[in-house]
A and B are shown apart, each in its own frame.
Chain A
Amino acid sequence: MEIIYSCLRDAHDQGLLWIAALVCVTGVYASISLARHASRAEGNSRKVWAAVAIVSSACTAWATHMVGLLAFQPGMQSGFDPLLTFRSLLLTIFGIGASMGTAIGSRNRLRRAGAGLLLGLSIALLHYLGQAAYLVTGRVTWNLQLVALSLAWSLPLFAAAMVMSGDKRHSLRHLAGPMILSAIALLHFAGMAALELTFDPRISLPESALAPDVVAPIVAAVCATLVVLAFMGLRFALAARAQATRDRSRLKQLADLAVEGLAICRDGTIDAVNGSLATLVGCSQQDLKGKTLSSLLPDTPLSKLSEHQEQDGELVTNDGARVPVRLLRKIVKIGNVDQTVVAIRDQRERLRTEQRMRTLAFTDALTGLANRLQFNQILSASCEKASATGERFALLLLDLDRFKFVNDTFGHAMGDELLKRVARRLTACCGGTTSIARLGGDEFAIIVDEELAQDAAETIIDVLGRPYLIDSSIMDIAASVGIAIGPKDGSTPSILSRSADLALYTAKHAGGSVYRRFEREMSERAQARRQLELDLRRALVREEFEVHYQPQVDPGDGRFQGAEALVRWRHPERGMVPPADFIPLAEEIGLISPLGEWVLRTACEQATGWPSHLTVAVNLSPVQLRDSALAARVMQILQDTGLPGSRLELEITETALLQDEETTYNTLHALRAMGIRISMDDFGTGYSSLSYLRRFPFSKIKIDRSFVRQVPEDRESVAIIQALTSLAAKLNMTVTVEGVETAEQRAFTVSEGCSQIQGYLISRPIESVSIRALFNEPLQSVA
């Protein structure tokens, strides 16, 4: 070491030595910055700049060496072998190139150490070749010990520097430059010290040797080039830094714009967060820096976070509240470094929305009770529990009597208010623990314990039947309740519901304001009714209907005047089904129109076979009467059958007139215009509005059989018949008395001046063949 030091101090021009150091530093900086630029660049420019960096580093080593040699003052004439000097430069370029090629893109320490050795060797080669190219007028001897020592010291330094330059730690990376510098310096000065020159005037410089004066400008030019390159490197570095700053701030802006919370972590410690996360946690971005991620997500360790699938977690905010979040981990390259980014999405709003949607989906918006959907779930759960434990429960179905009336009369707003109050009263009746639902319209359902069912039903009927005072109106409605016990009356929701429904149906038919428990017979009755319905639907096609006729006669002389057509159903198994059993059903299931039309057509057809002065009376149902095409249809039937309109009589009841008076009025007048007579059937049993007699074109009143039954004993019945007969006479209408069964009754009708009678006294309804035979007998009377 002493030798080296003294060599440095004594044998060198101090000024030039400083220049050598400066060149070295500048060159190394230029090389490194250019190499970095190359690493940032892409494609061809990357290769070009890498080559420039390699050449520049080789030139640095060479120029440093040359300036060092120029600084050497051997005390004798000196010169340079041009070929060898140039070769040393080329060799260095190749050596450094090879070393860089080995090291680049590799973190493998062994490989980097190898590259470092390669670098050291090439610089050592440069050095000793360069020294070999240094010619003096004297003898050259080498201190081989020192040479070996220089190599032994500097080569490991090169290797270590290369390894460190590839290290992840910044501090170590920064040490690599100075280490290379010191290795070069060591190599150079140890090499110089190992050189011993002894002046020998016999030795002269060869012809080809270049004088230091010649070499110096070349070296200076190379140095100047290095300075230029260093400036370029500096510019590149500054530009890159500015770009990086811009990128970072843009990235930060972008991250802050993100709705999701983002945390950049290193080893579980938060490096940076975006604004969203800071807001979510409730503190500043700066505060979160340095905290551990587990302080935010105590239940979700970073290692458990998936990189592909979002998962649920809980975030602890600054004030200790727990916020449901969705988490995703991503490894992202930021700069050149892999960082863990954790995306944290606040789920509160979504969960609230979901809750709201669930509430909307499962709640009746008007009353706030459970809706049908939710109730079905509750009922299913109850059924399952019941079949598992055998524990019974009661399903109460209820609907409101007269609700439709309120809705139609007072309007929907009032109907809605009423439903709300009903819901509140139901809740008051059943307490908080029971499941109450509005299934739709005025239909409600309740599930209670079996032993409470009866009390609940009674209370509900009582409380719902109390008056409702709404907007200065008093509304009286009532409730009917059907009770079915699960699993006894049905183990599945649908069977149990049907049972409760049947019980409710029965309660309603009992007049309302009552409850009924489900009984087996209800379902049998319902079954029978369903069967009847099926049969009825098929009966028309299978031609099971027949028209029977009950003759109508003049009570005075007993002459036939016509007959009333009456439909009969000859059921293949049950025989004759009375009209009272199937006409209401036919009305309910919409079969009455085709059936009525069939009866009308058949009666008209068959009446054409009767003597031409006899009429046929056919009943029209309210449904038929509401049809505005009725008149046209009747006209068609008359044309098809050839029956004159004057021989047809259509009977309608008062109730039929109640609905849609306008259409009815038009239809009746159109029928009247065809010569068809209209008679009011069952007069006296319905509304008996006398205004109908004035408004509609009736030609006949049929007095209901109920008035005739007690004639002539009952004074009131007598009075009514007398009044009606005289009324009809004044209105130019004829009167038919129905249900005449005794001779006294007939005599009474004669005395009161009734123009027509009909009843068992004359004949029961008989088949068409029989009535035709009866009408065509020579003596046309039953006197």
Chain B
Amino acid sequence: MPLYRLLYRSEIALTGSKDQIDHQIDQIVSASEQSNARSGLTGALIASGGVFIQALEGPLGALEATFEKICLDLRHKRVNLIELAAAEERIFPEWSMIRVAQGAQMIEICTVVGVRESGRLDTSTTSALVSLMRNILLTKSTSSPGDEVAAGASAAYPAP
């Protein structure tokens, strides 16, 4: 079955204190972890600076259905589809959904995607973005919490 990747960006519309919002996001991630596992999707979510950036990969039908559910969700606003394209392989095969923890590199991702309110990006840019997300995840799981910045990872995507 051909593999597709979907990347979108939206504005977080959750209310409450920082901790409460954080907790709600964790709940969203764990719910989507379960439902993605059922429909064969994998991916990762950044929630930072009031913005969600989520990458989803898997069969097209499941992606379309899940994205429609995302579009029905009022917990975020201004959903902007950045990319929907065929993919060679899964970037996040280990995770049906995982939250990308805070880190310096996230700022770079957000500067590419976060400020854009609309418009799609080309495949090379998005590929670099998801690779960067993966790098952060791997660094996070292998190194100590204080050392979140993976050197050289920022070179993985072209300048906007």
Chain A interface (Cβ < 8 Å from any Cβ of B): 421, 424-425, 428-429, 459, 462-463, 466-472, 474
Which A-chain residue is minimally distant from B63 (CB atoms)?
A469
Inter-subunit contact B84/A474 (CB<8 Å): yes
Asked if B68 is at the interface of the complex by the 8 Å CB criterion, the answer is yes
Interchain nearest-CB distance for A462 vs B (Å): 5
Inter-subunit contact B68/A469 (CB<8 Å): yes
Specify which of A459, A469, A470, A472 is in contact with B74 (CB 8 Å cutoff).
A459
CA–CA, A469 and B60, complex, Å: 9
List chain A residues, Cβ under 8 A from B60. Answer: 472
Interchain nearest-CB distance for B75 vs A (Å): 11
CA–CA, A466 and B63, complex, Å: 15
CA–CA, A650 and B68, complex, Å: 52
Please name the 4 residue pairs, one residue from A and one from B, whose CB atoms are nearest each other, closest first.
Answer: A466-B71, A469-B64, A428-B72, A466-B79
Inter-subunit contact A467/B81 (CB<8 Å): yes
List chain B residues, Cβ under 8 A from A421. Answer: 68
Which B-chain residue is minimally distant from A463 (CB atoms)?
B71
A424, A425, A459, A462 — most chain B CB neighbours (10 Å): A462
Contact A424:B79 (CB < 8 A) given known A469-B67, A472-B60, A474-B84 = no
Interchain nearest-CB distance for A467 vs B (Å): 4
List chain A residues, Cβ under 8 A from B67. Answer: 467, 469
CA–CA, A509 and B78, complex, Å: 22
Asked if B90 is at the interface of the complex by the 8 Å CB criterion, the answer is no
Contact A428:B74 (CB < 8 A) given known A467-B79, A469-B67, A469-B68 = yes
List chain A residues, Cβ under 8 A from B71. Answer: 425, 463, 466-468
Interchain nearest-CB distance for B16 vs A (Å): 18
CA–CA, A136 and B73, complex, Å: 126
CA–CA, A467 and B81, complex, Å: 7
Inter-subunit contact A474/B72 (CB<8 Å): no
CA–CA, A467 and B67, complex, Å: 9
CA–CA, A135 and B82, complex, Å: 138
Asked if B77 is at the interface of the complex by the 8 Å CB criterion, the answer is yes
Inter-subunit contact A462/B64 (CB<8 Å): no
Inter-subunit contact B78/A462 (CB<8 Å): yes
CA–CA, A469 and B59, complex, Å: 13
Specify which of B63, B68, B74 is in contact with A429 (CB 8 Å cutoff).
B74
Which B-chain residue is minimally distant from A464 (CB atoms)?
B71
Interchain nearest-CB distance for A400 vs B (Å): 15
CA–CA, A469 and B90, complex, Å: 20
Chain B interface (Cβ < 8 Å from any Cβ of A): 6, 60, 63-64, 67-68, 71-74, 77-79, 81, 84
A425, A429, A467, A469 — most chain B CB neighbours (10 Å): A469
CA–CA, A421 and B67, complex, Å: 12
List chain B residues, Cβ under 8 A from A428. Answer: 72-74
Inter-subunit contact A469/B79 (CB<8 Å): no
CA–CA, A123 and B52, complex, Å: 118
Contact A474:B77 (CB < 8 A) given known A421-B68, A425-B71, A469-B67 = no
Which A-chain residue is minimally distant from B81 (CB atoms)?
A467
Which B-chain residue is minimally distant from A476 (CB atoms)?
B81
List chain B residues, Cβ under 8 A from A474. Answer: 81, 84
List chain B residues, Cβ under 8 A from A472. Answer: 60, 64
Which B-chain residue is minimally distant from A469 (CB atoms)?
B64
CA–CA, A470 and B60, complex, Å: 10
CA–CA, A470 and B84, complex, Å: 12
A-B pairs with beta carbons under 8 Å apart, 29 shown: A421-B68, A424-B72, A428-B73, A428-B74, A429-B74, A459-B74, A462-B77, A462-B78, A462-B79, A463-B72, A463-B74, A466-B71, A466-B79, A466-B81, A467-B67, A467-B71, A467-B79, A467-B81, A468-B68, A468-B71, A469-B6, A469-B64, A469-B67, A469-B68, A469-B84, A471-B64, A472-B60, A472-B64, A474-B84
CA–CA, A428 and B84, complex, Å: 24
CA–CA, A421 and B70, complex, Å: 13
List chain A residues, Cβ under 8 A from B73. Answer: 428
Inter-subunit contact B64/A470 (CB<8 Å): yes
CA–CA, A428 and B74, complex, Å: 8
List chain A residues, Cβ under 8 A from B74. Answer: 428-429, 459, 463
CA–CA, A467 and B60, complex, Å: 15
CA–CA, A469 and B81, complex, Å: 10
CA–CA, A429 and B72, complex, Å: 8
Inter-subunit contact A425/B72 (CB<8 Å): yes
Interchain nearest-CB distance for B119 vs A (Å): 11
Which A-chain residue is minimally distant from B64 (CB atoms)?
A469
Interchain nearest-CB distance for A689 vs B (Å): 27
Q: Can you add 20 more A-B contacts, CB < 8 Å, to A469-B81, A474-B81?
A: A421-B68, A424-B72, A425-B71, A428-B72, A429-B74, A462-B78, A462-B79, A463-B71, A463-B72, A466-B71, A466-B79, A467-B67, A467-B79, A468-B68, A468-B71, A469-B63, A469-B67, A469-B84, A471-B64, A472-B64
Which A-chain residue is minimally distant from B77 (CB atoms)?
A462
CA–CA, A462 and B67, complex, Å: 15
B68, B71, B74, B79 — most chain A CB neighbours (10 Å): B71
CA–CA, A424 and B6, complex, Å: 22
Interchain nearest-CB distance for B17 vs A (Å): 22
Interchain nearest-CB distance for A212 vs B (Å): 116
List chain A residues, Cβ under 8 A from B77. Answer: 462
Interchain nearest-CB distance for A427 vs B (Å): 9
CA–CA, A484 and B117, complex, Å: 30
List chain B residues, Cβ under 8 A from A469. Answer: 6, 63-64, 67-68, 81, 84
CA–CA, A421 and B68, complex, Å: 8
CA–CA, A467 and B6, complex, Å: 12
List chain A residues, Cβ under 8 A from B64. Answer: 469-472
List chain B residues, Cβ under 8 A from A425. Answer: 71-72
List chain A residues, Cβ under 8 A from B79. Answer: 462, 466-467
CA–CA, A468 and B79, complex, Å: 11
List chain A residues, Cβ under 8 A from B68. Answer: 421, 468-469
List chain B residues, Cβ under 8 A from A459. Answer: 74
CA–CA, A582 and B28, complex, Å: 56
List chain B residues, Cβ under 8 A from A470. Answer: 64
CA–CA, A467 and B84, complex, Å: 11
Which B-chain residue is minimally distant from A421 (CB atoms)?
B68
CA–CA, A424 and B65, complex, Å: 13
Which A-chain residue is minimally distant from B120 (CB atoms)?
A474
CA–CA, A459 and B72, complex, Å: 11
CA–CA, A672 and B113, complex, Å: 56
Interchain nearest-CB distance for B50 vs A (Å): 15
CA–CA, A469 and B77, complex, Å: 18
CA–CA, A463 and B79, complex, Å: 8
List chain B residues, Cβ under 8 A from A462. Answer: 77-79
List chain B residues, Cβ under 8 A from A467. Answer: 67, 71, 79, 81
Interchain nearest-CB distance for A418 vs B (Å): 11
Interchain nearest-CB distance for B47 vs A (Å): 18
List chain A residues, Cβ under 8 A from B81. Answer: 466-467, 469, 474
